[in-house]
Structure 1
Amino acid sequence: MKLKLTFDSTIGGIVLALAALILGGGCSMFPETRQRESVHNPFPQLKRVAILPFYNQSNEPTVDTNLVTEKYYAALQAVPGFEVLPVGVSKAQWLRYAMTYGEPTTGADFQSLAKLMGVEAVVVGSVTDFDAFYPPRMAMTVQWYAANDGFHTIPAGYGLPWGTDAEKQIPKRIAREAEFELARSQLATQTPTPAAVGVPSLPVESASGEYVGEFGTEFPADSADEYTGEYAAEFTEQYPGEFAGDGFVFDGDQFVNEEIAAPMPADWPDATDFIPDPPSPVRPTVIASTEPVLMHTKIYRGDDPYFTKRLADFVETGDDARSSGWQGYLKRSDDFISFCCQLHIMEMLESRGGADQSDLILRWPLSRY
């Protein structure tokens, strides 16, 4: 029994000694852990990029948009896979285009400018809100226009590992953003088109006896019966193998499949749109688009825990020799703008399959040595 007590006392002493050593040494026994996030260009077809001078759409007239443009350039040039034209070259080409054709304002204008500059995409950005005083605040909206009008908008969630074991590792904020964009595109197919002002929205006959369609388009009177249920019923009787024999019936308004209560639209977006299509032996048919291929809008605040967490990880893993730490970035406008641009680019690429595996950085405080 005495041996047992001695053994327990010895174990207890060791535990107490370790506890005293840990408490006495503070946190110096354990390293600080930080995540070093990194991204790459997930779109090889958008490698050569030009950044146009940023616009100031905020209520703060003193925003230095030239500084914002330079910071965005520096952040994007640091991402592997991008070749960014120098800011001075891009501005000169932009001014040349404006003097010849007028200042570009539409998607088609920016696409023409991209072709003139010899780049695959131009970046059009603006500062929509800014405040340099604590807590600093900056809102940005950035749109990328591709020179090739056959490139369409790349939604958030594209290229992520949906339907695989890695799906559970997708950050919740990115999954929510992807689901929101998918819902928006789905609802777009279900939103009625508003009737033109002053034009009847229901089929009527014109004074000349000709059929007038939904938007005022005139059709010959002898084709008006094509828009009635009687014609459709006759059509199914004449061609039963085309519709009725295949399970399709006319419900008084349109042909529907008896086995499907609500047929899906032909252009209905679903989750498979997030997964890139396999290679095709032939080039796809061009469907011209003037919409931006990439777009990201975000506001950053110096008192937001998400923002400060990413800022702290960025500063502590970046070997910044200044002693002020990440808090100093909130006091220096140029540093704050620099990180906002970097985070803006990282978020846009992370949500579209451009995130690399983060590195775990361990650092011991100087008091340990």
Structure 2
Amino acid sequence: MAVMLGGGCSLFPETRQRDSVHNPFPQLKRIAILPFYNQSNEPTVDTQLVAEKYYASLQAIPGFEVLPIGVTKAQWLQYAMAYGEPTTGADFQRLARMMGVEAIVVGSVTDFDSFYPPRMAMTVHWYAANDGFHTIPAGYGLPWGTEAEKQIPKRITREAEFELARSQLATQTPISNGPSLLPPPNATLSPPMVDQASVEMETQWEDAPHGDVPYDNMPYGDMAYGDASAFDYADMAAPLPPAWPDPTDLIPDPPSPVRPVAIASTEPVLTHTRIYRGDDPYFTNRLSDFVETGDDARSSGWQGYLRRSDDFISFCCHLHIVEMLESRGGAEQSDLILRWPLSRY
């Protein structure tokens, strides 16, 4: 027993998780990466270096073929000379078709600080050459409604729920009547328009005892009395909008015997925005696993990545891509790595 206790932690191996992702979108295999834009307050950010690190991280993921950065930049300059610098979604789609790729990556560094704790914020948009491809939301392709749903990380579940709620509320958001919600100076404010039918229904509800008003006329059913369990969308009299986003939209449709009719879109098919900090436990934990399972021969360990800007940028690009694919069905079962500490030998 004394010998076992004296051995301490050397009796047990260290456990690490290695990220394992793949390309979940066969239609988006051949990719081009434009030089990143610098939208931060740090003028010395090397956006060419960021694009190269993003290229290296993406090319290392199975299922992607990435056009070399030099070739992409040359064709981007050629396009700019003929049509002007691309700035809109339609421009990037046309540039992708000219390059012969299936998607083009347009990224920006929105915040950067190389001093400890280092910090880097990135916004990346992927534009498909085919304008019939639409935005792929977070949560798409994950095993919803199955036993494996319990294994979906909570951060991905929250992101998917937030995006679903945002798309649903977009169908319920009132449209402004003008460019500004503020009245012009010295303007006479008109009384608001009153919906007489709504007033009569609310008066009927307030004056009648509970249970005397038909359920179809109750505002949100019994929830007016705080009974949330009685609320059911199916009991609402008003039908849902024709384009109402539903959780089932996150589950891919089965194959169709005919091609769908294209509805043109200039929006990016993939979008991911994140900020990474060297003092964030989530970031450092993933960095530690990345370094310890990567056989980096340098003795500084994962802490050295926080002191070397190029390594810090490289891991930020890697994590940015991995997170984007993980939340859209690209994650594989993590490899469990067991390593014995050197003190054991």
TM band (smaller chain): 0.7 to 0.9
Partner residue, 1:282: 258
Return the alpha-carbon distance in structure 2 between the equivalents of residues 92 and 287 of structure 1. 31
Amino acid at match of 1:91: K
Return the alpha-carbon distance in structure 1 between the equivalents of residues 321 and 143 of structure 2. 20
The alignment partner of 1:39 has SS state of: coil
Kindly provide the CA deviation profile for residues 326-348 of structure 1, in whole angstroms up to 9, marking residues without a partner as x. Answer: 00000000000000000000000
Partner residue, 2:104: 122
Amino acid at match of 2:64: F
Matched, 1:301 2:277: yes
Q: Of the candidates 307, 322, 330, which is equivalent to residue 354 of structure 1?
A: 330
Kindly provide the CA deviation profile for residues 181-204 of structure 1, in whole angstroms up to 9, marking residues without a partner as x. Answer: 000100000011222459xxxxxx
Partner residue, 2:304: 328
Structure with the bigger RCO (C-alpha within 8 Å, sep 6+) is: 2
Q: Of the candidates 336, 339, 344, which is equivalent to residue 363 of structure 1?
A: 339
Amino acid at match of 2:77: L
Matched, 1:170 2:152: yes
Partner residue, 2:140: 158
Summarize the alignment of residues 57-136 of structure 1 with structure 2, pairs less than 5 Å apart: 57-136=39-118
Return the alpha-carbon distance in structure 1 between the equivalents of residues 140 and 264 of structure 2. 20
Q: Which runs of 5+ in 2 are unaligned?
A: 181-233
Return the alpha-carbon distance in structure 2 between the equivalents of residues 362 and 171 of structure 1. 22
Partner residue, 1:24: 6
Return the alpha-carbon distance in structure 1 between the equivalents of residues 42 and 277 of structure 2. 16
Shift of 1:313: 0.3
Kindly provide the CA deviation profile for residues 137-163 of structure 1, in whole angstroms up to 9, marking residues without a partner as x. Answer: 000000000000000000000000000
Shift of 1:85: 0.1
Shift of 1:259: 7.3
Call closer, same or farther: CA 1:347–1:197 in 2, change over 3 Å: closer
Shift of 1:23: 2.4
Summarize the alignment of residues 140-155 of structure 1 with structure 2, pairs less than 5 Å apart: 140-155=122-137
Shift of 1:262: 2.0
Kindly provide the CA deviation profile for residues 28-67 of structure 1, in whole angstroms up to 9, marking residues without a partner as x. Answer: 1100000111100000000000000000000000001011
Call closer, same or farther: CA 1:260–1:24 in 2, change over 3 Å: closer
Shift of 1:21: 1.9
The alignment partner of 2:307 has SS state of: coil
Kindly provide the CA deviation profile for residues 196-235 of structure 1, in whole angstroms up to 9, marking residues without a partner as x. Answer: 459xxxxxxxxxxxxxxxxxxxxxxxxxxxxxxxxxxxxx
Partner residue, 2:21: 39
Shift of 1:22: 2.7
Return the alpha-carbon distance in structure 2 between the equivalents of residues 189 and 112 of structure 1. 30
Q: Moved runs in structure 1, 4+ residues, more than 3 A? A: none
Return the alpha-carbon distance in structure 2 between the equivalents of residues 289 and 129 of structure 1. 29
Return the alpha-carbon distance in structure 1 between the equivalents of residues 141 and 171 of structure 2. 23
Larger radius of gyration between Structure 1 and Structure 2: 1
Partner residue, 1:226: none
| TM-score, with structure 2 as normaliser | 0.83
User: Over aligned residue pairs, what C-alpha RMSD do you find?
Assistant: 1.4
Matched, 1:316 2:292: yes
Shift of 1:24: 1.0
Which one is further off, 264-273 or 188-197? 188-197
Summarize the alignment of residues 208-357 of structure 1 with structure 2, pairs less than 5 Å apart: 260-357=236-333
Aligned-pair identity (%): 84
Return the alpha-carbon distance in structure 1 between the equivalents of residues 235 and 125 of structure 2. 43
Matched, 1:186 2:165: no
Q: How many residues align?
A: 293
Return the alpha-carbon distance in structure 1 between the equivalents of residues 51 and 67 of structure 2. 12
